[in-house]
Structure 1
Amino acid sequence: MVSTAEPIRPPALDLSRASLADIASAVAEKRLPPVEQWNPTHCGHSDMRIRADGSWWHGGTPIGRAALVRLFSTILRREADGRFVLVTPVEKLDIEVDDAPFLAVEATSEGEGPGRTLAFRLLTDDIVVAGPANPLRLETAEDGTPRPYLHVRGPTERPLEALLNRPVFYQLADMALAEQDKLGGPLGLWSGGAFFAFAD
């Protein structure tokens, strides 16, 4: 049974003031359950849903406790058929996801050009550094608007991703345009030694 007591947590990392070393330390300290190693019997539906705005709902009601959302987010997995599940060593329950299961709400940048590092804070307070293991990708929605995503974790063929919220994407777009004006080349940004294009 999951305890509903609020765990004692250190304050969320402030990306606007954090150094690259602080960010790397926060990422390294994150310990997640080994959900890819768990293969319990499927037990049905959780009656939970993650909306496109990153909010978590149960039975049609928003889950208001951030600690509970963070806990559930650590046992989230994507199956080979594309379904999302909450998994423990003894049970596996489906969960509906409207878009991406995570939402990136803050970004920070250090360096420029090929030496740049981009770090993102998710709504769940997870920190993700973009790079070869955590690529950025850009889709175009049917209405023509950009839909930027960041690989958070999971195998490449069935990743758990974060949608970048609009302010974060505009921040990146401004950086990319400024860098293109200064350095030339295609529109996009480097992070962790990888280049992520913002246009075809």
Structure 2
Amino acid sequence: MPMPELPSDLSRLSLADIAQLAADQRLPPVDQWSPTKFGHSDMRIARDASWYHQGDPIRRETMVRLFSTILRRDPDGRHYLVTPVEKLEIDVDDTPFLAVEVKSEGEGDTRTLAFRLNTGDLILAGPDHPLRLTELDGELIPVLSVRGGMEARLARPVYYAMADWAIAEAHDPIGLWSGGVFFPLAGQ
């Protein structure tokens, strides 16, 4: 399945363009596959969303992108690389994805936030892809629902941009709307 070539900068795209590109992203139906071979991949996704195989970084972005399309999180909370024949566990230190870019269109309850992940995936925050706060190392951090119970941590510059927009709008609690849903960005 060929991977669509995605633009390198969200700022050049309209929200309609981003929504269409996000809708056009086709992923293998890993949730429908029930392989009979099991094992461990000798792979790990670090906290910064870097991928490793046998302790060495995977430097080819196309390989990371390809592996990310067959990544699945099972109800036991473990992550797997899944094909129709094989299911290999992969260690994930934190979240498997990192939101590296954000684009905002609109204001207040008409705002929509579009995110680009480290894998190139495009996600529009809203009811199907909510933002939530989770605790990590004693800090509340925002994460974005990606698919199948998997989430993306927000890169610091992404979070800071969102915090600036939220402070300017002065909601109580502080937060942002996206896709008709309000998402708090700070704890109570």
Q: Report the alpha carbon displacement of residue 138 of structure 1 after superposing the two structures with TM.
A: 1.2
1:170 corresponds in structure 2 to: 160
- C-alpha distance in 1 between matches for 2:4 and 2:77: 32
1:16 aligns with 2:11: yes
2:141 corresponds in structure 1 to: 147
Give structure 1 stretches of 5+ with no counterpart.
1-6
1:63 corresponds in structure 2 to: 58
SS in 1 for 2:20: helix
1:30 corresponds in structure 2 to: 25
State the aligned residue count: 186
In structure 1, give the amino acid aligned to 2:124.
Answer: V
SS in 2 for 1:16: helix
What TM-score, normalized to structure 2? Answer: 0.94
Aligned-pair RMSD on alpha carbons? Answer: 1.4
In the TM superposition, 1:100-115 aligns within 5 A as 100-115=95-110
Match of 1:94 among 86, 89, 95: 89
SS in 2 for 1:69: helix
Q: Report the alpha carbon displacement of residue 65 of structure 1 after superposing the two structures with TM.
A: 0.7
Q: Report the alpha carbon displacement of residue 11 of structure 1 after superposing the two structures with TM.
A: 4.5
SS in 2 for 1:150: strand
1:4 corresponds in structure 2 to: none
What TM-score, normalized to structure 1? Answer: 0.89
In structure 1, give the amino acid aligned to 2:141.
Answer: R
- C-alpha distance in 2 between matches for 1:101 and 1:38: 20
